[in-house]
Amino acid sequence: MSLPIVLITGQLLTDAVWEPLLNAWSDREVIVADNQHGETIGEMAQNLLDNAPEQFILIGHAMGGFVAFDVMRRAPERVAKLLLISTLASADGPAQTTRRQGYIDLVESGKFDQVVEERIPILFPEAKRNDERLLTIARKMAADTGADTFLRQQRAIMARSDSRPKLSEISVPTLLVWGDQDGITTRAHHDEILEGITNARLEVIEGAGHLPTVEMPEVVVPILTKFIDEPI
């Protein structure tokens, strides 16, 4: 019997980002963890653990990767495999902090919709920024998340720990997935994780941006499925 799969979603994203996986894995036990409550990344991680099966496969996307790293620090024995999509292990530097504070200022001045639109160019490659299907998905996920939750997520992200010093303690099979047109995370971010986790490998999705599961599900779903089904 296959292990349960726990998904933890990124900032301003909802279950919709996992829809291709949920459809493909309808015969498996899949749980989407709550990413909309908790004041810190640590609280989100503990909430995930409190509601997850005893052992599971963990998939984290973007902010969900930050939560996944915290889960691995708290209860590594409960995670059988780790999959990280479009994420990074370092804490924010000054430039990232400034950008995030700018988003907070916009939201607090009543311009949440402007934040969503400003994020479009970093979510999607230039060739896809007029794709109505993708724009509709991104805007609806943001609307469903809402301004208050966005602010809570943003502040949790800004206060997160640098996960790089503990990467070497992760020993489970680990798969990194990164779109080479991602406007938020870079190849260097993923190489840092590869260097830190001994049992890790990277799949680069050519032409994909920050949301490869919805941009190119025909490529990403088979890659994730194959990794999950590999014997441990």
Residue boundaries of the structural domains of the chain = 5-92+154-229
Where residue 12 falls (left for φ over 0; alpha for ψ -120 to 50; beta otherwise) is left
pLDDT digits (tens, 9 = 90+) for 85-124: 999 999 998 988 998 999 999 999 999 999 989 999 999 9
**Listed residue (57, 64, 82) closest to 15, CA to CA:** 64
Q: Can you give the pLDDT at residue 87?
A: 98
User: Are 177 and 17 a contacting pair, CB within 8 Å?
Assistant: no
Q: How far apart are CA 166 and CA 163, in angstroms?
A: 6
Q: How confident is the model over 19-71, as pLDDT tens digits? A: 999 999 999 999 999 999 999 999 999 999 999 999 999 999 999 999 999 99
- Whole-prediction pTM: 0.96
Whole-angstrom distance, CA of residue 12 vs CA of residue 104? 13
Sheet holding 200-205, edge to edge: 30-32, 5-8, 56-61, 79-85, 174-179, 200-205
pLDDT tens digits for range 127-171? 999 999 999 999 999 999 999 999 999 999 999 999 999 999 999
- Mean pLDDT, rounded, for 4-27: 97
Q: What is the CATH number of domain 5-92+154-229?
A: 3.40.50.1820
CA distance linking residue 29 with residue 18, whole number of Å: 14
CA distance 97 to 86: 19
**pLDDT value for 232:** 85
pLDDT bracket for residue 1 (50, 70, 90): low
